């Protein structure tokens, strides 16, 4: 084996060992940071069940079909970016109203 080939082999092996160790460290760091970010986002949002109960209370306080559907559609905005309500009559579903599109 020539000196050049031997050097290439040694450098390649050492580089692989170093990269393997750093990839594992980077993976651990990425997971840790992502978990911190997710936890802080969830904390900032507050308790989802309380939000859901408040939305249900608003729908229950509504009177009349149009008011109930409007409230239902408005309350979905706290949970998702886009919402659509369909009215189903017999075999046909028709879009009643949508938000966020």
**23-64: pLDDT as tens digits:** 888 888 888 888 887 777 666 666 667 778 888 888 888 888
Domains of the chain, residue spans: 1-45, 48-99
Both tokens assigned to 38 = 């997710």
Instruction: Quote the pTM value.
Output: 0.48
Q: Check: CB of residue 77 under 8 Å from CB of residue 83.
A: yes
Tokens 């729908």 -> residue:
59
């Amino acid at each position: 084996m020539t000196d050049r080939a031997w050097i290439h082999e040694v450098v390649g092996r050492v580089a692989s060992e170093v990269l393997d160790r750093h990839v594992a460290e980077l993976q651990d760091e990425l997971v840790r940071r992502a978990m911190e970010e997710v936890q802080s986002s969830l904390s900032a949002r507050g308790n989802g069940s309380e939000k859901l109960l408040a939305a249900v209370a608003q729908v229950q306080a509504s009177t009349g079909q149009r008011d109930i559907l409007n409230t239902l559609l408005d309350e979905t905005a706290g949970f998702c970016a886009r919402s659509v309500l369909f009215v189903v009559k017999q075999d046909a579903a028709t879009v009643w109203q949508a938000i966020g599109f």
